[in-house]
A and B are shown apart, each in its own frame.
Chain A
């Protein structure tokens, strides 16, 4: 109710219908919860219930401004977790820490590169999640809570952070060249609160009744203005991704790929990768040879190769394996991460 007046102010200009709606909503809440201003809306219960369904994720990273942690949302009662698809997941097992401090291992079921979402699975841990069936769409002007482990503040059984906000706009994420770089270009909820901090991506956006309305997106920044965008992906997008992933359409089965007689090789394209010293050495480009195809196509030293033809490259080994399935004469697409940017590169031999 404390936000009530601010809401009135902004909503008046937007829609009188919405005002009625909001008023009606707030009045019931007010009468439900008594008169103490700190408990008029029972935020505490809504937030603590939601916090139990948000997990802290730990994986690869921790170098060059890449965080090794992020947030995730439990989306059913059989151990599925949806999160942002990022380099954090480039490990054999993603470490999941639940609200009560349990440390569990998750495997990546699959990812949807288009929406930059991934689904993880934790086996037999009795996790209780949001009900995707009741997850709903939100409207502009609606008040929401964001729950995530931004800045990695919480550890172990400590609660994820909660923030309050209003959905300022529902709009496609226009990625004009040179402004905002994001793989995802669909609709987003733009928020008035600084949710999208390091570690927040994959966190939950819930309405005042604790229903899931979105997932906090990855950090993106307007290159010109230097402004970080605070946004979330709506639930219809999340649901579509989850369905695609769980139906097996986007998961990678490397074994199904067949090697060709005359494949591509990193050295032929003109790149040297960093030495393969780990079980899953991230495929960083160490050097690009002068006059090579790679240089011509725009690959640079320190690029991290994430996708090959929209399929996940989780290590140097898997890159070599995947390249071996493409005929030397064919062109292919790479998605690379360069600093904080994702760049799509068409490699023509």
Chain B
């Protein structure tokens, strides 16, 4: 009987087991498939990450040591990374892509304050490029991913992708220990670890929205604690051409400081009377309402926004004083003295051996053998970087400054040939509004400016500042002289010419190449169109305490095969003095005049 009962129990158990198994199977069959939208989104994500990975760069020293990340942003091999990644390597490094190859690379420009650097890879003209996103559209709660070389894991040069949430936007991180300042940065909980520095942060469309660079650590050691920061791609793009100039790039001050008053208003608490802001009417106690394209409600915000702009940029500002609200532009001043920047770089640069591996960090990958042998054979023939580095004080790599200036000047060839003309010019025009005739005579010995029945004469190359300080309209003749010399002889024969990068122009869309020329006792900024190379604006500075004279050139038309401006506006401190309509530029060579 016992046996019978046991078998019944056994049978019962078997039945129960079978039925439960059946029900489980049934559930598996019934499990709904992910919807098409889900599958498509997944596919899209895979594609985004695949594309993004191609442009992600692993940065090593020339000996394969050290390690950080970067991202390629142009087919000719420009790479964005952190200054603190590139600085230990000096001016040479090697960049690995996920095609498994290492590329010899050289530093172009550095921004020690904003922790950015631009490198240039050599060896291809079709490097994979990251799509540039819009970091202004990044919102808390969006998904994102970081790609890079955390813990120098990319032994096969395949980047590591970490995935996360945008935790915060428009964050400001104070300089910690160094002067590195993160303004208006993006905060994410995607894992950012040592080695991720300099690498890209992407949105889910695979567009570049930031450069990862910093984490909050405090007491928890130097690994991710759920808080990483990326420099916004907006800031990086603002500085890109400044960095491509091979200079040591500086950040800016407004020339005034602000504090929050008892009513919670952000007001000017201190202002330099020599600053551009002061000349634009901003005084102690005025309330700052807007800077750049953003409203200001806290002092933090002002600091935050200021950090994304290079010095010398003119950015919109809105303030309120007793008379009401004023919209104007303010020219940003450099934050550091050149000597201060030099000190910083000295502190950050390698005194030979690149950073030692910290105990507990992973083994540094051996240099790629193929690239190594390639490098060896190249060195035997010719160092590919030998021509790409020129040392000069104040520059991280002077080669790129020459390169960019050459690029601008090469654009001149599209505008007709001025180089063979003599320097004796007669420019005639009129001020339509006042119905006055204008005549400018440029010659080897003098500049003569006639407006109506008034006439003034100035030396062709010096003594200009005193006229500029008086806001003299002879500034028009000086500007035309610069215009003439730029086209006739080129900036390098006028004085010490430096390519600064790209700056905005008040009232015009886009960014413009800017060249600074130091002539005897004054400085000139020449703004040219990146597409045509035509001069858009010329600014001549007497000193940094007075407004420069500004000439705005418009309506270029070909005259005799040479592009000539038809309209020129003379401006001091945003105030137009007059608009000249040019009738003719006559060039008098030895054989007599020739109309253009």
Residues of A within 8 A of B171 (CB): 153, 158
Contact A23 B32 (CB under 8 A): yes
Q: How large is the interface on B (under 10, 10 to 19, 20 to 34, 35 or more residues)?
A: 35 or more
B141-198 contacts to A (CB < 8 Å): 141-143, 163-171, 187, 189
Contact B31 A16 (CB under 8 A): yes
0/1 interface trace, chain B 498-529, chain A, CB 8 Å (1 if under): 00000000000000000000000000000000
Across the interface, A195 reaches (CB within 8 A) one of B140, B216, B226, B300, namely B226
Residue of B nearest to A30 (CB): B37
Residues of B within 8 A of A145 (CB): 141, 165
Residues of B within 8 A of A247 (CB): none
Contact A44 B165 (CB under 8 A): no
CB of B409 closer than 8 Å to a CB of A: no
0/1 interface trace, chain A 136-159, chain B, CB 8 Å (1 if under): 000000000100001101111111
Contact A101 B298 (CB under 8 A): yes
Across the interface, A153 reaches (CB within 8 A) one of B34, B204, B227, namely B227
Q: Whole-angstrom distance between the alpha carbons of A193 and B189 in the complex?
A: 8
Q: Whole-angstrom distance between the alpha carbons of A26 and B220 in the complex?
A: 35
Residue of B nearest to A50 (CB): B141
Across the interface, B226 reaches (CB within 8 A) one of A36, A40, A65, A193, namely A193
Contact A162 B165 (CB under 8 A): yes
Across the interface, A197 reaches (CB within 8 A) one of B34, B187, B227, namely B227
Residues of B within 8 A of A272 (CB): none
CB of B41 closer than 8 Å to a CB of A: yes
Q: Whole-angstrom distance between the alpha carbons of A2 and B24 in the complex?
A: 28
CB of B28 closer than 8 Å to a CB of A: yes
CB of B219 closer than 8 Å to a CB of A: yes
CB of A134 closer than 8 Å to a CB of B: no
B415-465 contacts to A (CB < 8 Å): none
CB of B262 closer than 8 Å to a CB of A: no
Residue of B nearest to A24 (CB): B32
Residues of A within 8 A of B168 (CB): 153-154, 158-159, 161-162
Across the interface, B224 reaches (CB within 8 A) one of A19, A101, A157, A194, namely A194
Residues of A within 8 A of B203 (CB): 38
Q: Whole-angstrom distance between the alpha carbons of A289 and B167 in the complex?
A: 50
Residues of A within 8 A of B204 (CB): 2, 36-38
Contact A48 B140 (CB under 8 A): yes
Residue of A nearest to B144 (CB): A38
Question: How far is the CB of B307 from the nearest CB of chain A, in Å?
Answer: 15
0/1 interface trace, chain A 191-229, chain B, CB 8 Å (1 if under): 001110110000000000000000000000000000010
Given A16-B24, A153-B227, A164-B189, A48 and B141 contact (CB-CB distance below 8 Å): yes
Contact B218 A46 (CB under 8 A): no
Contact A151 B218 (CB under 8 A): yes
Contact A197 B24 (CB under 8 A): no
Residues of B contacting A: mostly:
mixed
0/1 interface trace, chain A 1-45, chain B, CB 8 Å (1 if under): 110110000000000100110011011001100011111100111
Q: Whole-angstrom distance between the alpha carbons of A35 and B299 in the complex?
A: 39
Residue of A nearest to B28 (CB): A16
Q: Whole-angstrom distance between the alpha carbons of A44 and B24 in the complex?
A: 38
Residues of A within 8 A of B169 (CB): 159
CB of A51 closer than 8 Å to a CB of B: yes
Question: How far is the CB of A232 from the nearest CB of chain B, in Å?
Answer: 14
Residue of A nearest to B41 (CB): A37
- Best-surrounded residue of B31, B165, B168, B204 (most CB of chain A within 10 A): B165
Question: How far is the CB of B174 from the nearest CB of chain A, in Å?
Answer: 11
CB of B40 closer than 8 Å to a CB of A: yes
CB of B38 closer than 8 Å to a CB of A: yes
Across the interface, A40 reaches (CB within 8 A) one of B41, B224, B298, B300, namely B41
Question: How far is the CB of B508 from the nearest CB of chain A, in Å?
Answer: 33
Q: Whole-angstrom distance between the alpha carbons of A43 and B204 in the complex?
A: 14
Q: Whole-angstrom distance between the alpha carbons of A163 and B216 in the complex?
A: 14
Residues of B within 8 A of A163 (CB): 165, 167, 189, 226
Question: How far is the CB of B327 from the nearest CB of chain A, in Å?
Answer: 24
Residues of A within 8 A of B216 (CB): 150-151, 153, 197
Contact B165 A156 (CB under 8 A): no
Question: How far is the CB of B155 from the nearest CB of chain A, in Å?
Answer: 25
Residues of A within 8 A of B27 (CB): 16, 20
Contact B167 A162 (CB under 8 A): yes
0/1 interface trace, chain B 278-310, chain A, CB 8 Å (1 if under): 000000000000000000011010000000000
B211-238 contacts to A (CB < 8 Å): 216, 218-220, 224-227
Given A38-B204, A162-B168, A44 and B142 contact (CB-CB distance below 8 Å): yes
Across the interface, A38 reaches (CB within 8 A) one of B32, B140, B142, B167, namely B142
Contact B220 A228 (CB under 8 A): yes
CB of B378 closer than 8 Å to a CB of A: no
CB of A47 closer than 8 Å to a CB of B: yes
Contact A156 B298 (CB under 8 A): yes
Q: Whole-angstrom distance between the alpha carbons of A65 and B187 in the complex?
A: 24
0/1 interface trace, chain B 123-148, chain A, CB 8 Å (1 if under): 00000000000000001111100000
Q: Whole-angstrom distance between the alpha carbons of A36 and B170 in the complex?
A: 24
Question: How far is the CB of B51 from the nearest CB of chain A, in Å?
Answer: 14
Contact A44 B220 (CB under 8 A): no
Can you pick out 24 interface pairs between chain A and chain B where the beta carbons lie within 8 Å of each other?
A4-B34, A16-B28, A16-B31, A19-B31, A20-B27, A27-B32, A27-B34, A27-B38, A37-B204, A38-B143, A43-B141, A44-B141, A48-B140, A51-B140, A65-B219, A145-B165, A150-B216, A156-B300, A161-B167, A161-B227, A162-B168, A163-B167, A197-B220, A228-B220
4 other A-B residue contacts (CB within 8 Å) besides A30-B35, A153-B216: A150-B216, A151-B218, A159-B168, A193-B189
A interface vs B, CB < 8 Å?
A: 1-2, 4-5, 16, 19-20, 23-24, 26-27, 30-31, 35-40, 43-48, 51, 65, 101, 145, 150-151, 153-159, 161-164, 193-195, 197-198, 228
